[in-house]
Structure 1
Amino acid sequence: MTINKKNNVKVAIIDRGESNLHTVQDALDMMSNAQCVDCMNMLIHKDNIHEKFFDLKTKFAGEVLQKFINYQMRLAIIGDFSHYTSKSLKDFIYECNKGQWIFFKATVEEGLNALHSVALKTF
């Protein structure tokens, strides 16, 4: 995990292959590690997340994202989501990107910008 800091807002970046998100406990462990270094924002690569996350019927995404919201930690998931054909997933991604807690972005830079800009508005 690396830490990106801009305008006193820290983002924990989970590097590719560093930690994988396959269970709800994995999400809790990642959040705990970030909170230990005073980060309430996290960025993770799509490649680190189990594919079942992107099948909304499994309810895995809902369980994981609810933990982030309950613990008041913002999350940016970065990667290419264009190959997913599920309308419900596309709608879900669209709605998340309109909010203040969960973002799906194409690049690290876009993810960091989303997290930093929302976090600054809440100060």
Structure 2
Amino acid sequence: MTNTMDMAGTKVLVLAIDGPPIATEADGNDIIGEAFSTEAELIAIPVERLGPDFLRLETRIAGTVFQKFVNYHLRCAIIGDIAPLLENSKALSDFVRETNKGRSIWFLASLDDLRAKLTRVGA
């Protein structure tokens, strides 16, 4: 079940773990529509919802979807453990490290970590 919640003054759309996979640009568009319909400012996506190729950077799926989120002024947090993927990809490790320094796209272990990050950055 997808729901919205307030975290540190930010309206967050929290996607359900058991929803359809996000595997294409069109899937990203659907999430943008859902975020707009709930007036969310940030989308929290469980890592389990990502399609198998989403974080394989050579497919460019993540980059395309994340760029659309940014273009529509939506922030995004991928929530969950991606350590196994990071071990096998220096490029992905670099990407995660750099995005986590910014204000638009984050990779975090839990919703509690998201709440703490929003509190630190001033929502």
| TM-score, shorter chain, exceeding 0.5 | yes
Q: CA deviation at 1:62?
A: 0.8
Structure 2 residue 103 is matched with structure 1 residue 100: yes
Q: Confirm or deny: 8 A CA contact 2:17 2:46 kept in the other structure.
A: yes
Letter in 2 for 1:69: V
Q: CA deviation at 1:119?
A: 5.9
Q: 1:44-83 maps to which residues of 2 (within 5 A)?
A: 44-83=45-84
Structure 2 residue 111 is matched with structure 1 residue 112: no
SS of match in other structure, 1:5 = strand
Query: Any unmatched runs of 5+ in structure 1?
Result: none
Q: CA deviation at 1:6?
A: 3.5
SS of match in other structure, 1:39 = coil
CA shift in 2, pair 1:76/1:101, >3 Å: same
- Runs (4+) of structure 1 moved beyond 6 Å? none
Letter in 2 for 1:95: E
Q: CA deviation at 1:13?
A: 0.1
Cα distance in 2 between the residues matched to 1:17 and 1:7: 26
Q: CA deviation at 1:31?
A: 1.3
Identity score, percent = 32
SS of match in other structure, 2:68 = helix
Query: Any unmatched runs of 5+ in structure 2?
Result: none
Within the candidate set 73, 87, 90, 1:87 is matched to 90
SS of match in other structure, 2:6 = strand
Cα distance in 2 between the residues matched to 1:88 and 1:7: 31
RMSD: 1.6
Which deviates the most, 8-17 or 92-101?
8-17
Q: Confirm or deny: 8 A CA contact 1:16 1:47 kept in the other structure.
A: yes
Cα distance in 2 between the residues matched to 1:47 and 1:81: 10
Q: CA deviation at 1:51?
A: 1.8
Q: Which residue of 2 aligns with 1:21?
A: 22
Cα distance in 2 between the residues matched to 1:7 and 1:108: 12
Q: Confirm or deny: 8 A CA contact 1:74 1:115 kept in the other structure.
A: no
